[in-house]
Structure 1
Amino acid sequence: MAPVIILFFLFPTLLVLLVAALSLRNSESRKSKGLNLPPGSMGWPLLGETIAFRRQHPCNSLGEYMEDRINKYGRIYKSNLFGAPTIVSADAELNRFVLMNDDRLFVPSFPKSVADILGKTSMLVLTGEMHRYMKSLAVNFMGIARLRANFLVDSERYVVQNLESWPENTPFPAKEEACKITFNLMVKNILSMNPGEEETERLRKLYMSFMKGVIALPLNIPGTAYRKAVKSRATILKVIERLMEERIQKKKEGTDGIGEADLLGFILEQSNLDAEQFGDLLLGLLFGGHETSSTAITLVLYFLHDCPKAVEQLREEHLEIVRAKKQRGVPAALTWDDYKHMEFTQCVSSSAMHPFLDR
C-alpha cells in the first residue's frame, strides 16, 4: 500500500516535470531551426490551443479565438492545433496565393491524428499521382450527366420526404436535419443504401461518431471522441468490406441489378481498390461533401430567417417555374433546366457561404 500512496502523491510532480521537459524541448527545437515564424502562441504543451480553437461561437462571427489572436498578432499567426505546430491565416491574399499554388509550392497536410482517422489513402491526405488517381475516380463518377440523372432527382425526393416528416408549426434542429438529408443523398449514390433503413441509420450514427473525432483532441484513450472515432472507422470499414464482397458475389452470379449506378459498382468495374482504400475514399467524400453541404444549408436557413423579402423572392422564383411547367404540360419533377433558371436561389446560396466558410 505504501508504494501506491507514494506514487499517488508523486504523480502530480512527475506530470509537471514531464510537461516542463516537453515545453523546454519544443522551445529549444524551434530556436535551433531558426525559422522566421510569425508571432503567436503555442499554448499548452501537448494540448496547444486546440480547446480554445474548438470552442463554439455564433456562425456569423469568427469566434473569440480568431478575433483575439487577430487583434493580438495580426491576420497571420502561429499556434499549436490538434497536436501539430500550425500557421493560421485569415489573410485573403495569402490564402489565395496558397490555393493558386496547390501542388506546386504547397501540398495538403493534416496533423497525424487527423490523417490516422481519415485514412492513409484518403483523397484529403494523399498527394501527387495517387491523389490525382483517386480524385479522377470521384470526378468521373460524379460527372454532369450523373448529377442531372441521379443527384438532382434524389435531392428533391429526400428533401420532400424530410419536410413531410416534420410536425407543423414546430421548431426543428436545422443542422441535424441538413446533415440527415445530405448523408442520405450521399450514401444512396455511393452504396445504394436507402434512407430510414436500419443499416443506413447504423452507418449514419457511426459516421457522426467518426466526424466528432476528426476535429477532437487527439487523445486515444477510452471515452474520448478521438477513441470513439477510431473504433467507428474500423466498424465502417468492416461494413464496406462486407458490402463489397456481397456485390462481387452477385456479379459472379449475374444477379447484380445495380452495376455502375453507385460509386461502389463504379469502383469495382473501373479500379482495383481494396476495401480499405475504398473506405478511405468514401469517408473522404463524406467528410468533404457532407459537412460543407449541411453547413451551407444551415447557413441559408439562418440568414433567410431574418430576411423575409428574400424568402418571398425565392418563393416567387420557384412558383414561376412551377407555373411555367404546368402551362407546358410537363411533369412537375425538378430538372436541370429548372435549376439553371433559379438565378436568385443560386445567389442566396453563394451569399450565405461566401463570408462564413466552415473552419
Structure 2
Amino acid sequence: MENTSFILVLLCLILPCSSLVLDDANLQALNRDVRTALLQKISNTLSSANNQMNYQSSQTQNCQSQLSGAFDACAACVKDACDHNFQNCHEKKPVTLCDVTGTNYKVCRAIMNSESLALDATSDFDGKMRKVMRRMVQDQEAHILTFLKNIKSFMDSSLRSAGSGPIRKSLESLITYYGTVKTAVDAGIHHNAALQNSLNSMSDVMKQGMESAGVQMSSATGNFMTELAFNLARMLATNNPTFGRRKRQATTCSTIRNFPAHCFSAFQTECPCTGHSPSAILNLCGAHLQSSIAAIAKPIQTANEIFDRICVQEDLIQKVNYENVAVDRHNLGYNIVKYSAAIRGINLDFTAQFQLRILNLPRTASEMAEAIWGKWVKKINLV
C-alpha cells in the first residue's frame, strides 16, 4: 500500500494532474474499514434506541391504553374470523392490534412493545450470518466476535421480554460458531471434508431414529437421502392420516399474501373496526409521540439494511477523488474532493471536509461511515 501511494504521488509530480482517483487496492481496504466502523455503529444504535424507548415509556404506555381501548375489539374479531376461515393454512399469522390500526407497523409495534425494535433487528442474525460466516471472518476477522459479544452484552443487560431468550441462545451459538470458523480460516482448512463427515454422522443418527420408529432403511439403492425423504413422507402419512390433505390445503393458502392485512380487508366490515384510520396513532396519541418513535425506529431500520450489506461484503464506497498535493506529508493526508457511496442502492456523491489518510484508512473510514449512516437515515420515511 505504501509503494502504491508513493507511485501515485510520484506520477503527480511528473504529470500535470489536478486530482487522483484512489486505486483499487486501497479502495478495497477502505471499504473493509468502513464496514468495520458500521458494525460498531449498529451495536451502538441498538443500545441507544432501547434507551430512548425507555425514556418514552410513560407516553407509550398511555398510547397503548388508548389504542387498546379503540382497537382491541376489532383486532379480536378479525383474529377470530381469520382463525375460523383459515384454520388449516400453514402461513397463518397472528392478527395483532397493529395490523388493524392502519398506521405504520414499525411505529405501532414499538409503542406496543418497547423492546420490539431491538428484538426485530436481531431476530435473524443467525440466519443472515451463519451461511456467510467464513466470508465475514475473512473480511472482518475478530471484529465479528466483538460485534456479537457487544450485542449479547446489550441484550443481557437491557432486554427482559420473553422474546429475547431465543435470540440470546442464537447469539451464543453464533459466538461458538465464529470460533470454529475462525480456527479453520486461520489454519487454511477447507471445510468440505469436515462437512461431509458431519452429514454422514447426521445421516447415521437420523437412520437410527427412523428405524426406532419402525421405518426400516435398506442399503440396496445406496442413496440414503432419497430413501429418507420417501420413508419420512410415508411415516408421516401413516401416523397422521390428515397429513396429505393438510398439505393440499396449505398449497391453496400459500397464495394469500400479507396474511393479517388480507384478513383485515376481508373481515373489517363484519367487525367493530369503524375507528380504523391511517392516522390512528396521530389522532389518539399525538403527532409528537408518533414522530418521536419514528425517529427512534429509522436508525434501527438503517442498521438492518446496512447489516444485510455487511454480511455479503458489499462495497459501499464506489469511488474516491482527492487532490494531488499531500497536506500532511508524514501521514500522507490528502484533501478529498469527492467520493461516491451506495445509499439504499443509489450512488450518491459526497463532498468531504475531512482528509483521506492513506496510512490511516480506518480514521478516514470512520468519518465516511458516519456520513453514510446519516444520509441513510434521512432516506428512510416511516410516517
Q: When the two structures are superposed, what TM-score results if normalisation uses the length of structure 2?
A: 0.22
TM-score by length of 1: 0.24
Larger strand share, 1 or 2: 2
Q: Which has the higher contact order (CA 8 A, sep 6+)?
A: 2
